[in-house]
């Protein structure tokens, strides 16, 4: 029995759905905080619907075993397969840094100011201390994994910096710093990512920017592999 579905149509509808939801949030919600929360929820829902079950996306703080906390992060993509604990406190989610794959700042638009804000949020996570233990298995023990290179990015409905060279110059700043942005998306026009082969920022105008961005994010998450084995006792010391 033949199907009337077309893959191109499915991908187009995914992009159109996200862009419509972001546009509706922007037009319908007048209060800045409510508008921001609404946009964050659109991206969180997208990730939780389309990323594999091993991943979860939420608004959260990130903590390390030295009792240092990140700023509040609009979207954290974290592990739920191997993470032994996630804290829920006073309606806030607190995630150990060892469990984090990616962090994103969410804004209505991309401009120089918001790129800097995203860098600050990303850096507040990447600067945390990551524990890692050897991983036991049936044949012995795998050595402790090095910390993941946490993905950091910026998500928005639109791009104010229509000159792509201008956007590229802002994104290329702090290239080796803790706040460097690996990836991002302006749903109405383009997505960007740092290409590890050419060591350059690739900015791609795209009529289905959200879907193209999601595919690139999935590829980067695949390259991350699995989170390191967390040192539970390093956190447990705070019980005393």
**Candidate list 74, 79, 98, 158, residue with the active-site label:** 74
**Candidate list 107, 121, 208, 216, residue with the active-site label:** 107
Whether residue 195 is contained in a domain is answered as yes
Whether residue 237 is contained in a domain is answered as no
Q: What pLDDT is attached to residue 24?
A: 76
Segment 40-51, tens digit of pLDDT: 888 999 899 989
State the virtual CA torsion across 58, 60, 38, 219 in degrees, nearest 10: -40
Whether residue 202 is contained in a domain is answered as yes
94 has a pLDDT exceeding 90: yes
Confidence of residue 27 (pLDDT cuts 50, 70, 90): low
- Would the pTM count as exceeding 0.85? yes
Please state the three-class secondary structure of 32-100 as a single string.
HHHHHHHHHHHHHHHHHHHCCCCEEEEEEEEECCCCCECCCEEEEEEECCCCCCCEEECCEEEEEHHHE
User: Structural domain tally of the chain?
Assistant: 1
Whether residue 240 is contained in a domain is answered as no
216 has a pLDDT exceeding 90: yes
Segment 187-210, tens digit of pLDDT: 989 999 999 898 899 999 998 899
Whether residue 140 is contained in a domain is answered as no
**231 assigned to active site:** no
**45 assigned to active site:** no
**21 assigned to active site:** no
Whether residue 122 is contained in a domain is answered as yes
**Candidate list 64, 79, 98, 105, residue with the active-site label:** 105
| CATH assignment at residue 76 | 3.40.91
User: 86: domain range?
Assistant: 7-132+147-229
Q: What's the whole-number average pLDDT of the chain? A: 88
């Amino acid at each position: 029995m033949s199907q009337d579905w077309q893959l191109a149509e499915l991908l187009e509808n995914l992009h159109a759905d996200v862009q419509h939801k972001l546009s509706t949030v922007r037009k319908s919600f007048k209060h800045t905080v409510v508008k921001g929360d609404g946009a964050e929820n659109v991206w969180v829902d997208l990730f939780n619907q389309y990323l594999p079950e091993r991943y979860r996306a939420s608004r959260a703080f990130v903590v390390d075993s030295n009792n240092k906390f990140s700023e509040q992060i609009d979207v954290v993509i974290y592990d739920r397969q191997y993470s032994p604990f996630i804290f829920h406190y006073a309606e806030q989610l607190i995630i150990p840094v060892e469990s984090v794959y990616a962090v994103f700042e969410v804004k209505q638009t991309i401009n120089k100011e918001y790129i800097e804000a995203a860098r600050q949020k990303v850096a507040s996570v990447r600067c945390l201390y990551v524990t890692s233990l050897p991983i036991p298995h049936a044949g012995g023990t795998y050595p402790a994994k090095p910390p993941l290179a946490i993905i950091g990015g910026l998500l928005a409905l639109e791009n104010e910096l229509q000159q792509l060279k201008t956007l590229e110059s802002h994104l290329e700043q702090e290239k080796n710093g803790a706040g460097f942005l690996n990836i991002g998306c302006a749903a109405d026009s383009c997505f960007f990512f740092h290409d590890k082969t050419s060591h350059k920022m690739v900015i791609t105008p795209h009529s289905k920017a959200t879907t193209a961005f999601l595919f690139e994010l999935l590829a980067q998450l695949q390259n991350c592999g699995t989170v390191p084995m967390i040192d539970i006792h390093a956190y447990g010391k705070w019980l005393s």
